[in-house]
Amino acid sequence: MDMVNGSLGDKIIKYAIPLAITGILQQLFNAADLAVVGHFSGKEAMAAVGSNAPVIGLLVNLFVGISLGSNVIIAKSIGQRDNENISRAVHTSVVVALLGGVFLAVLGEFLAPEIVKMLDVPKDVYPLAVKYLRIYLAGMPVILLYNFEAAIFRSCGNTQTPLTALVVSGILNVVLNLFFVVGLEMDVDGVAAATVLSNLISSVILFAALMKTELAIRINLRKLWIHGNVLGQILKIGIPAGIQGMIFSFANLIIQSAVNSLGTTIMAASSAAFNLEVFSYYIMNSFSQACTTFVGQNYGAGKGDRCRKVLKFCLLQSFVSTAVSSILILLFSTPLLALFNTDPDVIAAGRIRLEYIFFAYIFSFAQEGLSGYLRGFGVSFIPAACAVVGICGVRLTWVFTVFRQRPSFTTVMQVYPLSLGITAAVILIVTLMVKPSKKYIA
C-alpha cells in the first residue's frame, strides 16, 4: 500500500478494516473459550478464565507495545526507502519476540499461584485460575511471535495476511476447545491448551510468509540477530507504548480485584460483557494503529501536512464506526450475553457494564487516536505519561476510596468514563502544545 501518495480516506479504511476484523476474531475465539467452559464446565471455570484476562494483558502488553515500536521503525524506514534498516528491524523483532516469550513463560510458571492470589478470587475459582494461567503463559513464545510478525506486515500496509493466519488458527481453536472440553471432559486446561496450539499455527503461518515474501521485510534465518542500534530505536518507542498498555492492564487488574470481591455472579457477568465491549474497542483501536503506521511512513517521507490529514481522517472514521458498533451491541445485549451464561442476574449485571463502558468510549476514541498519532512520530513517552496520570491514577484512587465506601458493581463501572475523560482531555492539551508535525519532521 502506498501510504505517502494519493488519497487517504479509502486507504485508511482498507488498512483498518482487516485489522479490526483481526481483533474481533481474536476476541470471538476468546469468547469461545468462555462460552465452552461456561456451558460445559460451569460458572467457576468461566470466572477462572475471565479473571485472568487483566493479568495476561498486563504481561503481554509490554511486548505488544515493543512490537508497536517495531511497526513505527519499519514504517519510517519504508518512508525513507532504507531497506537495510528494515531488514535489521525485522530480524531483531523476531528474536526479541521469542526471547521475551520464553522469559514470560518461565516467570509465569513460578509466579502463577501468587499472581492469582493477588486477584482475590474466591476459593472455588482459585485452583482453576492457576491452572489456566500456567498453561496460557507456557505458550507466550508463540503468542508474542504472532504479534510481532503481524506488526511487521502492518508496517508496510499489509493487514490481510495476519487476518488470514488468524482465521485458520481461530477455526482450529474452536475445534480444539470442543474436543478437549466436551470430548475429553477437560475444563480450563482444555481451553488454555487450545489457545496455545492455535497461536502456534498462526505464528508458523506468518513466519513462512515472511520467509517467502519478496519485500524488504523478508526473513532470512541466517540474519536472525539482535542489532543493538535498531533495538535501541525500537525500545525507545516500544517501551513507553508497552508501559502504557501495562498501565491499562494494571488499572484493570485493580478493577478486576474489586469486581472479584463482589462474588462469582458479578465476575461471570463482567467477563461476558468484556467479551462483547471489546468488539467496539478493536474497531476503535484499528484506526489508532492505522494512524501510527500512516503517520510513520509519511514522517519518514517528510510530509508533515499529510500527517495532520491522517489524524483527521482516523478520528472521524473511528468515531463513526465505534458509535455504530456500540449501539448495535447495546440493542442486542440480552441475547448476546445469554450466549455466555443464561443466568438472569449475570445478564442484568452484564448490561450495566456495557452501558458504562460504551459511554466511556466517547472519550476513549480521542485518547486512542491522539496516542497513535504521536507514536507515529516516535513520540511515545507522552501518551504513556498521560495514561499514568489519567487512567492508572484515577482508577487506583477511585477503587481505594470511593469503592471502599460504596462497594457495588455500579460504583466500579463509574470510574471508566471518569478516567478516560480526564485522560482524553490531558492528551489533547499536550498534543496541541507539542505540535509533533513541526518539531519532529526534518
d(CA 27, CA 32): 8
pLDDT tens-digit readout, 338-349: 888 788 888 898
Residue 171 CB neighbours (<10 A): 14
Contact between 372 and 292 (Cβ < 8 Å): yes
Residue 67 lies in a domain: yes
pLDDT greater than 80 at residue 403 = yes
Q: Which domain holds residue 190?
A: 9-439
Residue 250 lies in a domain: yes
pLDDT tens-digit readout, 101-124: 899 888 888 888 887 877 777 777
SS3 content of the chain, % helix, strand, coil (to 5): 85, 0, 15
pLDDT tens-digit readout, 45-89: 777 777 777 677 777 777 778 888 888 889 888 888 888 988 999
Residue 1 lies in a domain: no
Residue 332 CB neighbours (<10 A): 10
- Count the domains in the chain: 1
In 3D space, the residue among 392, 323, 312 whose CA is nearest the CA of residue 358 turns out to be 323
Q: Look up the pTM and report it.
A: 0.80
Is 365 or 437 the better-scoring residue by pLDDT? 365
Residue 2 lies in a domain: no
